[in-house]
Protein backbone atom coordinates (compact mmCIF):
# COMPACT_ATOMS: atom_id res chain seq x y z
CA UNK A 1 0.00 0.00 0.00
CA UNK A 2 1.09 3.56 -0.77
CA UNK A 3 0.05 6.82 0.81
CA UNK A 4 -0.90 10.21 -0.54
CA UNK A 5 -2.15 13.10 1.54
CA UNK A 6 -5.20 15.31 1.23
CA UNK A 7 -4.39 18.65 2.86
CA UNK A 8 -7.27 20.91 3.89
CA UNK A 9 -7.59 24.49 5.06
CA UNK A 10 -10.67 23.59 7.12
CA UNK A 11 -11.95 20.75 9.31
CA UNK A 12 -13.85 18.49 6.92
CA UNK A 13 -15.29 15.45 8.68
CA UNK A 14 -15.51 11.93 7.30
CA UNK A 15 -19.30 12.33 7.37
CA UNK A 16 -19.09 15.37 5.09
CA UNK A 17 -16.87 13.48 2.65
CA UNK A 18 -19.20 10.50 2.84
CA UNK A 19 -22.14 12.65 1.74
CA UNK A 20 -20.53 13.74 -1.52
CA UNK A 21 -19.65 10.17 -2.50
CA UNK A 22 -23.08 8.81 -1.58
CA UNK A 23 -24.69 11.40 -3.86
CA UNK A 24 -22.46 10.46 -6.83
CA UNK A 25 -24.74 9.44 -9.70
CA UNK A 26 -21.92 8.11 -11.90
CA UNK A 27 -20.23 5.66 -9.56
CA UNK A 28 -21.34 3.48 -6.65
CA UNK A 29 -19.44 3.70 -3.36
CA UNK A 30 -19.49 1.97 -0.02
CA UNK A 31 -18.22 4.13 2.83
CA UNK A 32 -17.57 2.73 6.29
CA UNK A 33 -16.95 5.27 9.05
CA UNK A 34 -14.83 4.40 12.07
CA UNK A 35 -16.33 4.55 15.54
CA UNK A 36 -14.12 7.49 16.47
CA UNK A 37 -15.10 9.45 13.31
CA UNK A 38 -11.43 9.98 12.48
CA UNK A 39 -11.13 7.57 9.60
CA UNK A 40 -13.14 5.75 6.99
CA UNK A 41 -12.84 3.30 4.15
CA UNK A 42 -14.00 4.23 0.68
CA UNK A 43 -14.72 1.40 -1.73
CA UNK A 44 -15.60 1.97 -5.37
CA UNK A 45 -18.04 -0.77 -6.33
CA UNK A 46 -18.02 -1.96 -9.94
CA UNK A 47 -20.20 -4.80 -11.21
CA UNK A 48 -21.17 -5.66 -7.63
CA UNK A 49 -17.60 -6.05 -6.33
CA UNK A 50 -15.05 -3.82 -4.64
CA UNK A 51 -12.99 -2.47 -7.50
CA UNK A 52 -10.88 0.07 -5.61
CA UNK A 53 -10.34 0.14 -1.83
CA UNK A 54 -8.90 3.12 0.05
CA UNK A 55 -8.48 3.95 3.72
CA UNK A 56 -8.60 7.58 4.83
CA UNK A 57 -7.12 8.55 8.22
CA UNK A 58 -7.59 12.08 9.59
CA UNK A 59 -4.44 13.61 11.06
CA UNK A 60 -3.74 16.99 12.60
CA UNK A 61 -0.63 18.97 11.63
CA UNK A 62 0.90 18.45 15.08
CA UNK A 63 1.08 14.69 14.41
CA UNK A 64 3.78 15.12 11.75
CA UNK A 65 7.55 15.61 12.07
CA UNK A 66 8.82 19.11 12.87
CA UNK A 67 9.65 20.18 9.27
CA UNK A 68 6.21 19.08 8.09
CA UNK A 69 4.50 20.81 11.03
CA UNK A 70 6.25 24.04 10.06
CA UNK A 71 5.16 23.70 6.42
CA UNK A 72 1.56 22.82 7.34
CA UNK A 73 1.28 25.81 9.66
CA UNK A 74 2.76 28.13 7.02
CA UNK A 75 0.16 26.85 4.54
CA UNK A 76 -2.65 27.22 7.12
CA UNK A 77 -3.51 23.51 6.88
CA UNK A 78 -6.04 22.48 9.54
CA UNK A 79 -6.48 18.79 8.72
CA UNK A 80 -4.74 16.13 6.65
CA UNK A 81 -6.15 12.84 5.41
CA UNK A 82 -3.61 10.11 4.81
CA UNK A 83 -5.09 8.07 1.93
CA UNK A 84 -3.79 4.48 1.79
CA UNK A 85 -4.26 2.78 -1.55
CA UNK A 86 -2.83 0.14 -3.84
CA UNK A 87 -0.38 1.71 -6.34
CA UNK A 88 -2.17 0.10 -9.30
CA UNK A 89 -5.30 2.12 -8.46
CA UNK A 90 -3.83 5.61 -8.67
CA UNK A 91 -5.31 6.40 -12.09
CA UNK A 92 -8.79 5.48 -10.84
CA UNK A 93 -8.31 7.49 -7.63
CA UNK A 94 -7.85 10.72 -9.54
CA UNK A 95 -11.65 10.85 -9.91
CA UNK A 96 -12.03 10.65 -6.12
CA UNK A 97 -9.33 13.29 -5.66
CA UNK A 98 -11.09 15.62 -8.07
CA UNK A 99 -14.40 15.07 -6.26
CA UNK A 100 -13.08 16.10 -2.84
CA UNK A 101 -10.93 18.91 -4.20
CA UNK A 102 -13.86 20.45 -6.08
CA UNK A 103 -16.08 20.29 -2.99
CA UNK A 104 -13.68 21.19 -0.20
CA UNK A 105 -10.58 22.71 -1.81
CA UNK A 106 -7.09 21.97 -0.54
CA UNK A 107 -4.58 19.84 -2.38
CA UNK A 108 -3.33 16.29 -2.80
CA UNK A 109 0.33 15.80 -1.91
CA UNK A 110 2.93 13.09 -2.03
CA UNK A 111 4.68 11.43 0.89
CA UNK A 112 7.77 13.63 0.69
CA UNK A 113 9.23 16.93 1.85
CA UNK A 114 6.49 19.57 1.90
CA UNK A 115 4.21 16.96 0.29
CA UNK A 116 5.74 17.74 -3.12
CA UNK A 117 4.74 17.44 -5.81
CA UNK A 118 1.24 18.50 -4.88
CA UNK A 119 -1.89 19.00 -6.96
CA UNK A 120 -5.08 21.04 -6.67
CA UNK A 121 -8.36 20.67 -8.55
CA UNK A 122 -6.90 22.30 -11.67
CA UNK A 123 -3.83 20.04 -11.82
CA UNK A 124 -4.80 16.74 -10.13
CA UNK A 125 -5.42 15.04 -13.49
CA UNK A 126 -1.63 15.24 -13.91
CA UNK A 127 -0.98 13.48 -10.60
CA UNK A 128 2.32 11.67 -10.32
CA UNK A 129 4.42 10.19 -7.56
CA UNK A 130 7.79 11.61 -6.58
Q: Per-residue pLDDT tens for 44-65?
A: 998 888 899 999 999 999 999 9
Asked whether residue 77 is assigned to any structural domain, the reply reads yes
Residue 40 falls within a domain, yes or no? yes
Say if 14 falls within a structural domain. yes
Number of domains the chain is built from: 1
Q: What is the pLDDT of residue 43?
A: 92
Residue 128 lies in a domain: no
Residue 129 lies in a domain: no
* Domain membership flag for residue 71: yes
Q: Give the pLDDT score at 10.
A: 96
The whole-number pLDDT of residue 74 equals: 96
**In the predicted structure, residue 76 carries a pLDDT above the cut 80:** yes
The pLDDT mean for the chain works out to: 92
Name the band, by pLDDT with cuts 50, 70 and 90, for residue 28.
Answer: very high
Q: Is residue 130 part of a domain?
A: no
pTM attached to this predicted model? 0.92
- For residue 33, give its domain range: 2-123
Q: According to the model, what pLDDT value does residue 57 have?
A: 96
Mean of pLDDT values over 66-90: 94
Please, what is the end-to-end C-alpha distance for the chain in angstroms? 15
- Rounded alpha-carbon distances, angstroms, from residue 67 to 63, 71, 74, 115: 11, 6, 11, 11
27 belongs to a structural domain:
yes
Amino acid sequence: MDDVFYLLHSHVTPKEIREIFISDNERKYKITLSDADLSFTLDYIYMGKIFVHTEWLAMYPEEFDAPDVKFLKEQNIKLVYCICHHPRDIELLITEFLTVLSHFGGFIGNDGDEFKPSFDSATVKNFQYL
